[in-house]
């Protein structure tokens, strides 16, 4: 545990109940925490926090978010600087090892990742078992979970070397698996990795090239893909990262843990939002209909929510959304479609929402998913692949957080309690009497 004890305690006083002193812990940035690990033993009470709105589940040195200020940092470096000054391989090294690599370290890391990009050939049979119209996220969950059946030599979670190999394999093979999921869905042949290409170039090559002709990739598009990976790399203890940590806390192998993270990310309230944004924009269809949908989003009796808006932590602009918006302009300009109707519709939707009292009062701003779908559509990805790309990029964050947990000597299985609201004990009633 890296938090340090500070002065000051928290009294829990209830009429007739035992009060207790609880220590406070302070990290390097952000709110102090009340250390409640001994609360139940001392008071017989649980805390109650469904959705974990006020709960720190761990201590971590990887990512810091200040939701009020709209700040996101990885190991102390602001996301804006990482997105403009570094590349995804540097960010992967930073997340995994805590420091930006020098030139030699970067070259070796990139080489090591590159030489793990191929998939065991037998896994192709697993792809063949899916329907062609299977959602690619279903394929990702299945194939990534199955990796533990092929890479037994990196499943011993107590061996730091095996943890590192499994980490590299996961980072390296996600683009290959994601590209294969796409190829399978469109009935084209799988394309093997090319070790001469960068991580983002290789992914685009495996996804969009065909054996019948050379594949030409613009540097602007490759850079945009790399930047999109950076923007999705890690994000503190979000739902899918917490899922990976909880799965890992039982000692499950890393491939199973990442498959669990992929499954959680799929939800439209989380990583599935980028696909949901495009579906929503297509449903809105025209700027003329924007106000109607804004009203639906505000209507308590209407389940519709403005996808790509709002965030559990950010009560200000998601800093990733601003970089994503800029990248959107660059890509659409490069592709000669800067008048893309979806972009115009999204910008109008954003303008109207940000002026609306409901969104202002509830501090609902665009999040990382609001613009990403528009870029990915412009790059040629079907909407069903949007969350796959999120999972591809977030794998390094999941793996870094999993390693941090596994290296914590105090690590123990996560096992929350509950507030029981069911029936008290009652006698069994035999079937004949029911």
Compose the 406-425 pattern: x for residues touching ligand SDX by CB under 6 A, - for all others: --------------------
What Å distances lie between residue 135 and 263, 275, 404, CA to CA? Answer: 12, 12, 32
Distance between CA atoms of 171 and 397, rounded to whole angstroms? Answer: 10
Nearer to ligand SDX, 119 or 313 (CB): 313
According to the binding rule CB under 6 A, does residue 231 interact with ligand SDX?
A: no
Nearer to ligand SDX, 252 or 273 (CB): 273
Residue 415 burial by Cβ neighbours in a 10 Å radius (0-12, 13-18, 19+): exposed
Q: Which two tokens stand for residue 338?
A: 């800067």
Residue selected from 136, 248, 261, 308 as contacting ligand SDX according to rule CB under 6 A: 308
Q: Which residues, 6+ apart, have CB-to-CB distance to 386 below 8 Å?
A: 274, 275, 278, 372, 373, 376
Residue selected from 113, 140, 260, 273 as contacting ligand SDX according to rule CB under 6 A: 273
According to the binding rule CB under 6 A, does residue 238 interact with ligand SDX?
A: yes
Closest separation between CB of residue 379 and ligand SDX, Å? Answer: 20
Residue selected from 163, 235, 245, 322 as contacting ligand SDX according to rule CB under 6 A: 235
Q: What is the residue whose two structure tokens read 């479609």?
A: 337
Closest separation between CB of residue 353 and ligand SDX, Å? Answer: 9
Distance between CA atoms of 283 and 307, rounded to whole angstroms? Answer: 12
Residue selected from 106, 270, 315, 338 as contacting ligand SDX according to rule CB under 6 A: 270
Q: Residues 148-157, buried b or exposed e (16+ Cβ, 10 A)?
A: beebeebbeb
According to the binding rule CB under 6 A, does residue 403 interact with ligand SDX?
A: no
Q: Which stretch binds ligand SDX (CB under 6 A): 1-9, 24-32, 263-271, 405-413?
A: 263-271
Nearer to ligand SDX, 151 or 266 (CB): 266
According to the binding rule CB under 6 A, does residue 263 interact with ligand SDX?
A: no
Q: Which stretch binds ligand SDX (CB under 6 A): 250-258, 367-375, 399-407, 426-434?
A: 367-375
Residue numbers 33-92 binding ligand SDX by CB under 6 A: 51
Q: Which residues pair with 10 in a beta bridge?
A: 22
Q: Residues 414, 246: contact at Cβ < 8 Å?
A: yes
Contacts 24+ apart (CB under 8 A), 100-109: none
Nearer to ligand SDX, 97 or 305 (CB): 305
According to the binding rule CB under 6 A, does residue 315 interact with ligand SDX?
A: no
Residue selected from 75, 173, 311, 377 as contacting ligand SDX according to rule CB under 6 A: 311
Ramachandran category for residue 233: left, alpha or beta (phi over 0 → left; psi -120 to 50 → alpha):
alpha
Closest separation between CB of residue 53 and ligand SDX, Å? Answer: 7
Q: Which two tokens stand for residue 251?
A: 């000692």
Q: Which stretch binds ligand SDX (CB under 6 A): 96-104, 105-113, 188-196, 366-374?
A: 366-374
Q: Which two tokens stand for residue 257?
A: 């843990």
Q: Are strands 21-26 and 4-11 parallel, antiparallel or unpaired?
A: antiparallel
According to the binding rule CB under 6 A, does residue 290 interact with ligand SDX?
A: no
311 a catalytic residue: yes
Q: Which two tokens stand for residue 18?
A: 């035992």
Shortest-Cβ-distance residue relative to ligand SDX: 310
Residue numbers 138-197 binding ligand SDX by CB under 6 A: none
Q: What is the residue whose two structure tokens read 């709002």?
A: 310
Closest separation between CB of residue 235 and ligand SDX, Å? Answer: 3
Can you list the positions of beta strands (E) in 94-165? Answer: none
Residues in contact with ligand SDX, total (CB under 6 A)?
A: 22
According to the binding rule CB under 6 A, does residue 312 interact with ligand SDX?
A: yes
Residue selected from 226, 356, 369, 404 as contacting ligand SDX according to rule CB under 6 A: 369
Q: Which two tokens stand for residue 392?
A: 């591809």
Residue selected from 97, 106, 305, 315 as contacting ligand SDX according to rule CB under 6 A: 305
Q: Are strands 71-74 and 77-78 parallel, antiparallel or unpaired?
A: antiparallel
369 a catalytic residue: yes
According to the binding rule CB under 6 A, does residue 309 interact with ligand SDX?
A: yes
Closest separation between CB of residue 246 and ligand SDX, Å? Answer: 15
What Å distances lie between residue 91 and 5, 106, 417, CA to CA? Answer: 31, 10, 36
Q: Which of 135, 232, 311, 356 is catalytic?
A: 311
Q: Which residues pair with 11 in a beta bridge?
A: 21
Distance between CA atoms of 108 and 93, rounded to whole angstroms? Answer: 11
Distance between CA atoms of 373 and 343, rounded to whole angstroms? Answer: 10
Q: What is the DSSP letter of 260?
A: H
According to the binding rule CB under 6 A, does residue 322 interact with ligand SDX?
A: no
Q: Which residues bind ligand SDX (CB under 6 A)?
A: 51, 235, 238, 269-271, 273, 297, 305-313, 362, 364, 367-369
Active site residues: 311, 369
């Amino acid at each position: 545990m890296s938090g340090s004890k500070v002065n000051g305690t928290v009294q829990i006083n209830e009429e007739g109940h035992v009060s207790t002193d609880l220590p406070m812990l302070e990290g390097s940035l952000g709110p102090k925490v009340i250390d409640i690990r001994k609360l139940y033993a001392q008071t017989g009470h649980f805390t109650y926090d469904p959705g974990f709105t006020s709960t720190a589940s761990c201590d971590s040195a990887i990512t810091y978010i200040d939701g009020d200020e709209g700040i996101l940092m990885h190991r102390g470096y602001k996301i804006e600087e990482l997105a403009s000054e570094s590349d995804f391989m540097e960010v992967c090294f930073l997340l995994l090892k805590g420091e930006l690599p020098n030139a030699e370290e970067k070259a070796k890391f990139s080489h090591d990742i590159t030489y793990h990009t191929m998939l065991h050939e037998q896994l192709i049979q697993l792809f063949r078992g899916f329907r062609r119209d299977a959602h690619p996220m279903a394929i990702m969950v299945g194939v990534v979970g199955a990796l533990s059946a092929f890479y037994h030599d990196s499943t011993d979670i107590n061996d730091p070397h095996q943890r590192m190999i499994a980490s590299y394999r996961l980072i390296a093979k996600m683009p290959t698996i994601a590209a294969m999921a796409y190829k399978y869905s469109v009935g084209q042949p799988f394309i093997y990795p090319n070790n001469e290409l960068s991580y983002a170039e290789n992914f685009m090559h495996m996804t969009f090239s065909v054996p019948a002709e050379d594949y030409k990739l613009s540097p602007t598009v490759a850079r945009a893909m790399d930047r999109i990976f950076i923007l999705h790399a890690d994000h503190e203890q979000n739902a899918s990262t917490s899922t990976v940590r909880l799965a890992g806390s039982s000692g499950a192998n890393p491939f199973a843990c990442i498959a669990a993270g992929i499954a959680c990310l799929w939800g439209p309230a989380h990583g599935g939002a980028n696909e949901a944004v495009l579906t929503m924009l297509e449903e809105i269809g025209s700027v003329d209909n924007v106000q109607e949908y804004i009203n639906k989003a505000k209507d308590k009796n209407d389940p519709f929510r403005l996808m790509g808006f709002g965030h559990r932590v950010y009560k200000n602009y998601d800093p990733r959304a601003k970089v994503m918006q800029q990248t959107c302009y660059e890509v659409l300009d490069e592709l000669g479609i800067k008048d893309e109707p979806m972009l115009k519709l999204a910008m109008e939707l954003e303008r109207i929402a940000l002026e609306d009292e409901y969104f202002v009062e509830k501090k609902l701003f665009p999040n990382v998913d609001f613009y990403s779908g528009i870029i990915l559509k412009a790059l040629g990805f079907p909407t069903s692949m949007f969350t796959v790309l999120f999972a591809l990029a977030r794998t390094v964050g999941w793996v870094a957080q999993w390693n941090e947990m596994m290296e914590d000597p105090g690590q123990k299985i996560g096992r929350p309690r509950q507030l029981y609201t069911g029936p008290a004990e009652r006698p069994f009633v035999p079937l004949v009497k029911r």
